[in-house]
Every structure is written in structure tokens, then in C-alpha cells.
Structure 1
Amino acid sequence: MDRISFLDVTVAQEGSKQGPRRDIRLLNASYIKEFSFLGHGEDPLDLKKCYIDLNSLQTREELALRQAEAEAERIGVGVTSEAQSIFYALSKTLPVRWDKTVIVVMNEVRVSSPYVADSVYGGTPAANERVKKVLEFERKRLLARSS
């Protein structure tokens, strides 16, 4: 692995693959506590042969940002860890999202704190019943897991 350091970033080329494509990692140098120089490999980083596909990098960055934003939307703000666990459990079988501290299921049924069957309201009677059943099952599972 060859390294070139500049501006608190370390560039690492991994392995020696055939052809013009290489695996290159950009690392925040301030997180590196120590490293050992083992010597140059048979194929050192040749900047004349190295290229970076900026379009591919930008696409990967945009995808990573969208995934991070989607994951952040799945985290409730101002809710207990139990409420978050219930949200994750419901999300395995039903489409859910947060509306502040209320779990919105299937865009119609709402589950408010303390996130029990009596806290379920809205939606069609069938959807409401389905959410209550899933919620009761998940609460039993969480209770069994904690004891």
C-alpha cells in the first residue's frame, strides 16, 4: 500500500490490481495513531498512470448522502429507546415514518406515546386493527427480550 499525505488526508492505494483501475482510499489523517512503513511494493503509486473517475465518486457520494438522510429520518427525535425499538420493529412489516414523536404507519394510522394498542388511532378500521396486533406482538417480544 503506497501513501501520500497532504492537508490532513492520507491517500492509500490498496493491492496491485491488473489494468488502470486501482482501489484508492482517502483517510482523515488525524484519526491515524500510528503506522509502519513496510517498504515499496513492486507496483508503487505512479501518478502518471493514476486517474480518479470524478463522476463515479460524485455518484457514490450522492448515494451515500441519500442513504444517510433516509437513515436519519428513521430516528425519532425526543423519543425513548423503547419507542425507537417499536418503530424499527413496525418498520420490518409495515411502512412507517416519524411525525415528531408520533409513529405514522401506512400514512394513515398514528401511534403516540406510550406506544401501546390504546395509543393507536386513525386510518381504516382494518388498518388500525392490523397496527394494534403488530404493536402488541412487538411489545411482547421486547418485554421477553428485556427479561
Structure 2
Amino acid sequence: MATDAKRQNAGAKVPVALPKGEPAQPAASSVPLDISLQQAIGSKIRVTTTAPNQASVEGIVYTADPLTSLLVLNTSPAPPTNVNSASLVAPAGAYRLIPISQISSFQLLSLPPQPTENPNPVLNAIDVNAVQARLAKNISLEHAAQARLGPKGTTPTDQALFDALSRTHPARWVGNNMLISDTYLIEKPYNAANVRLGEGRHGDLERMRKVVDMERSKVTLKLSKNLIDGKMAADNTSGKGMAAGIKKGG
């Protein structure tokens, strides 16, 4: 029965009244009612139903469902959000369901509003030179970061000393030696006693030795504190686990 009604609706043709100013369609060009209603999604229409409950209903076409043979109209007096065939969420409003088989005719009152967004937006041009400059800068920063890493075998304390000195002096690695301000060489084990002037260089050697001694003391103290804090955190975690086990066993 439902299949027969669906076939009947699909083949039915009804008069369609167009808005004023639209060219009239000849009778020969009429299309099935359900297809006409689907093409009117988003438009405001006036529907006339058949007797004995003949009535006239106005609203925005939300959908004309071919599976259930139902027309869904948004009869809210306020203009609803734009409706299109791809919409997944129904806009707010009062909805009325009308069986397509009970529609004798419908009049197209107004077309859906045109979207405000440009369907063909202008794409921004890509500044190739700026992109290449950013890429070159990032590569340079990466190389600089790699250059700050000590050679194989560098301890965390030695690396931390180099990082501390590089914050106040130009510093780089030359083999296994730290070169500070292109003047002072610090050899392993990177203590104050291992600071010397580079060949042909002049500088305040005693002052640099004091700087190295001070920075190394600060680095050693900081790393020791971090080690103690980490051990205490591990002990606390272990203690909580043991307490939980004892409580569970008790």
C-alpha cells in the first residue's frame, strides 16, 4: 500500500504557480509533484490541500522526503535560517508535516535568500620569498641549536656550564674545547684551572677563571638539587604504594 502510494505521488503532476515576474511554464513542462517540491527547498510556498480537509498553508520548504512522501514546512512567521538540500540541522521554527498525496497545488511565493558569502572567494597569494626566508631562519636556528651541543661524551654538568656561559658570552665548541668570546679556551674537565688564552689572544684570564668557577658551582648546585628533588618524589611515590598495599592487606 505504501509502495503504491509512493508511486502515485512520484507520478502525480500538479499546477505550480510562480512568483510575479517569473515566466509561466507550459503544461507540457510540468514535473512530478515530489520533484517540484524538492526543487523548492528553501523557498517560501503556499500549499493547497485536497478535500475534504481543504486548506491553504504557507511556509518555508525544509524538505520533501520521497521515502515517507511527506512535505515538511517551517511555518514560523520569522525568517528562518537559510535552508538547502545539504542542511543536516533544522533551523528553529514551527514545523508542519503534510502528506504529498494530499497536495492539490502549490504556489512559489519567494525564492531562498542568496548567500552573503562569496561562492568564489579570492585566494590570497602566497609570498614565496617570505616562506623561503622563514624556512632559512628555522634551518639556521636548528643548526645553531645543534652547534650548542657538546661532543660525544659531554656530561650534563659540562653542557649546563656551556649553556650558562653562552648566555653572557659568545660561545662555541671547538672539538672537545669550549671557546668563549673567541679568546678563552676551556679544556676538559672544564674547571677554572683549565681556562687558558687562545693562541695570539689577549684577555683578563683571571676574571674568566672566576666566572667559570662561579658558573660551575651554580650549575653543580642546581643539578644536585634537581637530583635530590627527583629522589624525594620517587621515595614519596614508593611510600604511598607501600602504604596502600599494607592498608589493602590489613
TM-score (norm 2): 0.38
Match of 2:210 among 117, 133, 136: 133
Moved more, 49-58 or 112-121: 49-58
Question: Residue 96 of structure 1 aligns with which residue?
Answer: 171
Cα distance in 1, alignment partners of residues 174 and 145 from structure 2: 15
Local SS of the residue matching 1:113: coil
Cα distance in 2, alignment partners of residues 127 and 105 from structure 1: 12
Q: How far 1:138 sits from its partner (Å)?
A: 0.8
Question: Residue 123 of structure 2 aligns with which residue?
Answer: 49
2:212 aligned partner, one-letter code: L
Cα distance in 2, alignment partners of residues 115 and 73 from structure 1: 18
1:94 and 1:105 in contact (8 A); partners too = yes
Question: Residue 69 of structure 1 aligns with which residue?
Answer: 143
Using a 3 Å threshold, how does the CA distance of structure 1 residues 114 and 43 change in structure 2: closer, same or farther?
farther
Local SS of the residue matching 1:98: strand
2:164 aligned partner, one-letter code: A
Structure 2: segments with no counterpart, 5+ residues: 1-87, 89-115, 226-250
Cα distance in 1, alignment partners of residues 146 and 126 from structure 2: 30
CA deviation profile, 1:70-123 (whole Å, cap 9, x unmatched): 221111121112111110111122111100110011212110111111111124
Q: How far 1:50 sits from its partner (Å)?
A: 3.8
CA deviation profile, 1:42-81 (whole Å, cap 9, x unmatched): 979x675243221111111111111211221111121112
2:157 and 2:220 in contact (8 A); partners too = no
Using a 3 Å threshold, how does the CA distance of structure 1 residues 48 and 122 change in structure 2: closer, same or farther?
same
Local SS of the residue matching 1:104: strand
1:109 and 1:122 in contact (8 A); partners too = yes
Question: Residue 35 of structure 1 aligns with which residue?
Answer: none
Give the paired residue count.
107
Structure 1: segments with no counterpart, 5+ residues: 1-38
Local SS of the residue matching 1:84: helix
Question: Residue 220 of structure 2 aligns with which residue?
Answer: 143
Cα distance in 2, alignment partners of residues 103 and 47 from structure 1: 56
Q: Max radius of gyration: which structure? A: 2
2:178 and 2:186 in contact (8 A); partners too = yes
Query: Structure 1 vs Structure 2: percent identity of aligned residues?
Result: 28
